[in-house]
Amino acid sequence: MNIEAYKKLLEECNAKKVTLVAVSKTKPVADILALYNLGQRDFGENYVQELIEKEKQLPKDIRWHFIGHLQSNKIKQIISFVHLIHGVDSYKLLKEINKQAEKLNILSNCLLQIHIAQEETKFGLDENELKTIIGLVNEADDEMKLKHINIAGLMGMASFTDNMAQVRNEFKYLKSLQKRYSTKQFHLPFLSMGMTADYTIAIEEGSNMIRVGSLIFGERESQ
Ligand SMILES: *Cc1c(COP(=O)(O)O)cnc(C)c1O
């Protein structure tokens, strides 16, 4: 772990009103607790099973961010305690989250994941799909309303490349979507973009939530 790097990053985030999500995937509970003891509360995980195991062992006031690709059949395992689901990329998934949240009578906070990278492999919606989902959510009659979902913003991952001009353009594009689709009635306050390699650019382009792992916890073994 790199506590000095964490403190520096936290200071920068505080100064710029950016939420720092410490991505603890693959890292042991002891590391999370060490950071918790420094005051960190937002942690990100991308595997349901791993998240469940960690949640059991750690303090209950941790805000868990699910940043992976969530499968419908696993929603109910994490929905009761997860703070924010970052990677929602279909209306079907949104409906399923709503259904499970309804059973518990809770409000589930979600971000819509947008495909901004050049790579084929990254998940996410394109602009048309985003527009469709927002339309469905806003225009639904009372019966169809997803009353247990709060769409709190957008999330995206830039291309894995050394071409920082390209990364910047991808973040600019995501920011522009946030602006375009936020209205008085329909807010998209959170913009989750930026990781270890590109968080500086992400913040410059308007991110207010970064997801940083290896800078804080050190490199991961490949999963
Ligand atoms: C792993 C991961 C991160 C953190 O990546 P680092 O490069 O270690 O900062 C951020 N976002 C998502 C979606 C991830 O899967």
Instruction: Give the atom of ligand 1 at the shortest distance from the alpha carbon of 25.
Output: 1
Ligand 1 centroid from CA 24, angstroms: 9
Q: Which of 31, 154, 195, 207 to mutate to test the pocket of ligand 1 (most atoms within 8 A of CB)?
A: 195
For ligand 1, mutation pick of 46, 192, 200 (most atoms within 8 Å of CB): 46
Domain assignments of the chain as residue spans, ordered by start = 3-217
Distances (CA, A) of 160 to 91, 106, 118, 122, 212: 27, 36, 9, 10, 15
Given this model, what pLDDT does residue 111 score? 98
Tell me the pLDDT of the chain (223 aa) as tens digits: 999 999 999 999 999 999 999 999 999 999 999 999 999 999 999 999 999 999 999 999 999 999 999 999 999 999 999 999 999 999 999 999 999 999 999 999 999 999 999 887 768 999 999 999 999 988 878 778 899 999 999 999 999 999 999 999 999 999 999 999 998 888 999 999 999 999 999 999 999 999 999 999 999 886 5
The neighbouring-strand residues paired with 113 are 155
Measured between alpha carbons, how far is 12 from 170 in angstroms, rounded to an integer? 22
Joined tokens for residue 5: 């790097």
Decide: helix, strand or coil at residue 78. helix
CA 192: distance to chain centroid? 6
Distance in Å from the first CA to the final CA of the chain:
18
Nearest CA among 186, 181, 47 for reference residue 125: 181
CATH number of 3-217: 3.20.20.10
